[in-house]
Structure 1
Amino acid sequence: MTNRWGITIPFTGVPLAAHRELVQELPDLGYTDAWSAETAGTDAFSPLLLASQWAPSLRLGTAIVPVYTRGPGLLAMSAATLAECAPGRFVLGIGTSSPVIVEGWNAAEFSEPFARTRDTLRFLRAALAGEKVTEKYPTFSVSKFRLERIPDPAPPIMLAALRPGMLKLAAKEADGAITNWLAPADVPKVREVLGPEPELAARIFVCPTEDAEAARGLGRLLISSYLTVPVYAKFHDWLGREEILAPMHQAWAAGDRKAANAAIPDEVVDDLIVHGSPEACRERVQSYVDNGLTTPVIALLPTGGDPFEQVRALRPR
């Protein structure tokens, strides 16, 4: 069993303040990590700030904070604040996000994603170490920025990485990589590029129900929403799913979402969505680790059941 076993917070339909009971219980259940996300729900930092006080032994991580939606200085301040509240227990995960989130929802320009991520990483390294930063990076400039509250220690920084370019950057300059939407059998290909040493975390979508058709129906909705985004489409081309997913892409491009969902084979859904009994789900998550993943981060999909009881049932054995 891996030494790390993570869960994504907050849970769908549960008020933030109501998470306290379960978050306090997570370490006793065997969970080592709580990771957040940032799309159009909570921001990435606030749930972790609460968790830092409710469960002082949990490691906390953002997976991920977009590099475009905050200015460099604000991103450094947000990270430093959480690092101060959870000294030695916070991991800052950053990444590009997507044009929909960056441009459509946040009125920022989504350009040069590799370079912007690299430059943000280099700025954050300097800023979180307490340096006064005046630098003209290729994608932005910073003048005379210095944190007033320097975190001790500075948090590790991990990069959202899907394909070789970003994986190699993560291996060379960051403290690890965060990946997404992959099957256990895909992990060795990612690990081969990243190398054997850096931490590799992945969010794993888990639907703890033995109603396979219901799980696959939900899985198809998610897969057509995510894997039609260009960066994920290219990721799965690289992983070898270009041909099997071509009918989905064709239907999606024609504006027929129903046909796009129907075109996703069961085998793809079963590869990418963990479903079944809690014991079967736990074993499937463990198979990611057996294939080279360092940190599995369970993302609980709604089944109509009690999410707290499901999290308890998915505890590591």
Structure 2
Amino acid sequence: MRVETVMLGPEKSHYAGTVQNVSELARIAESARQLEAVGFDGITTPEAGHDPYLPLMIAAEHTQTVRLGTNIAVSFPRSPMVTAQAAWDLQNYSSGRFALGLGTQVKAHNERRYATPWPGAPGPRMREYILCLQSIFRSFQNPKEPCYFEGEFYQFTLLPTFFNPGPIVHPDIPIYLAVVNKYMARLAGELCQGIRLHPIATFGYTRDVIIPALEEGARSTGRAREQLDLLGAPFLAVGRDEEAVDTAVKGLRQQIAFYASTPAYHPVLRFHGWEDIGLELNRRISDGKINTIASLITDDMLDEWAIVCTCDQFADQVKKKSAGLFDSILLDLPPEVRADQDWMRQMIGLIQS
């Protein structure tokens, strides 16, 4: 199983209302080198207060083999051409190590945070977005034979030679789609190279809802499930001893409650019979009571969403809970655990084996 991690991801305190930290170029370079050195197969950057593409330029310069990806870049605030140009350059500068992870975000954040129109349902728009991107990539690689796209939401019908970045050695950029619901899972199976599961997708929901939809989408274009990369990102609470795990669980309850309050993610809660809890979480956050939400996440809910254990149990628990579900896994480890590079190197090797 491939093992990825997050660089510049939000810490647990941010889910309780604190702002993001400011990044420094030297820290990005050092972090990228260290994560490659301990054996991670991939390094990803989120769009959580910072641009997801810019840090990967630094990472590309200071690494040699590790794969680099956005986890995820929000699609709709950027036109397909803007996204295509960033992805094309990163693929070129990294010598073919870039994977483009895309997601829609919810309507309120598109309209009110990104100041972006929301002209229709996100699923059909994302379908066109991916098809348009793929047309742009083909046109970049074959300037004399541009491949245009015309849809309901996106039109790409002009690419003068002056504005074409031109062919690159590794033109096949994998597209991963952020997935929580069946529509996006089918779409990814049909058009993409893989999916990036949101952590809110439980192990059971992934098995019974996401994987069948992914397989259905793959069959529609004559592909097998094995040709696609299902990348899981379970919530984690890990520490050196039980006391450290208990402390991690407190922060994790807050993190899960933050995500579970989002109505767009309530199909997962509905699957488990937890929708009433999701509605209450949403009410509390709307009322400014964000510091009261963690108590609603029970131990049974934690077991469905998370890997909770001490460091010495971690690799075994990851393999046990991921068996039959994930082809790759993203591990967003806490700073105190990431600091032990010898442990990380050993743990990654055990999971990869």
- Greater shift, 222-231 or 256-265, is seen at 256-265
In the TM superposition, residue 201 of structure 1 has moved relative to its aligned partner by 1.0
Aligned to 1:180: 198
TM-score normalised by L of structure 1: 0.86
2:128 matched to 1:128?
no
Q: In structure 2, what residue type is equivalent to 1:188? A: R
Match of 1:48 in 2: 56
1:143 alignment counterpart = 157
Per-residue CA shift, 1:159-199, capped at 9, x if unaligned? 11112111111111111211112333443222222123221
Q: Is the 8 A contact 1:175 1:199 kept in 2?
A: yes
Task: Please state if 1:164 is matched with 2:173.
Answer: no
Contact 1:206–1:281 at 8 Å: present in 2 too? no
Aligned to 1:105: 113
Write the mapping of 1:1-317 to structure 2, written as runs, cut at 5 A: 2=1, 4-10=2-8, 15-41=24-50, 43-110=51-118, 111-130=120-139, 132=146, 134-145=148-159, 147-151=164-168, 152-181=170-199, 182-189=201-208, 190-195=210-215, 196-197=225-226, 198-209=228-239, 210=242, 211-238=244-271, 241-242=274-275, 245=278, 247-249=280-282, 251-252=284-285, 256-301=289-334, 305=336, 307-309=338-340, 312-313=343-344, 314-317=347-350
Q: Distance in 1 between matches of 2:317 and 2:187?
A: 29
Query: Equivalent residue of 2:139, what SS?
Result: coil
> Residue 144 of structure 1: SS of its match in structure 2?
coil
Report which stretch shifted further, 113-122 or 11-20.
Answer: 11-20
| Residues 75 and 128 of structure 1: CA distance in aligned 2, closer, same or farther (over 3 Å) | same
Q: Measured at CA, do residues 69 and 284 of structure 1 come closer, stay the same or move farther in structure 2, by a change above 3 Å?
A: farther
* Amino-acid identity (%): 21
Gaps of 5+ in 1: none
In structure 2, distance between residues paired with 1:16 and 1:286 = 34
Q: Closer, same or farther in 2 for the Cα pair 1:301/1:104, shift >3 Å?
A: farther
CA offset at residue 224 of structure 1?
Answer: 2.1
In structure 2, relative to structure 1, the CA distance for the partners of 1:292 and 1:149 (3 Å cut) is: same
Q: Which runs of 5+ in 2 are unaligned?
A: 12-20, 141-145, 216-224
Partner letter of residue 127 of structure 2?
R
For 1:109 and 1:311, locate their aligned partners in 2 and report how far apart those are by CA, in whole Å.
48
Tell me, what secondary structure is at the counterpart of 1:300?
coil
What CA distance in whole angstroms lies between the structure 2 residues aligned with 1:128 and 1:240? 43
The letter for the 2-side match of 1:108 is: T
Cα distance in 2, alignment partners of residues 48 and 288 from structure 1: 30
Q: Which has the larger radius of gyration?
A: 2
Quick one: structure 1 residues 98 and 282, their matched pair in 2 at CA, closer, same or farther if it must change by over 3 Å? farther
Alpha-carbon separation, structure 2, partners of 1:301 and 1:201: 20
Q: TM (normalized to structure 2)?
A: 0.78
**What is the CA deviation profile of residues 266-292 of structure 1, one whole-angstrom value per residue up to 9, with x for unaligned ones?**
221343233432233333322343132
Q: What CA distance in whole angstroms lies between the structure 2 residues aligned with 1:118 and 1:311?
A: 43
Distance apart, 1:90 and its partner CA: 1.4
In the alignment, the residues of structure 1 paired with residue 312 and residue 337 of structure 2 have an alpha-carbon distance, to the nearest angstrom, of: 17
1:153 alignment partner, SS class: coil
Aligned-pair Cα RMSD in Å: 2.7
> Separation in 2 of the partners of 1:88 and 1:266?
43
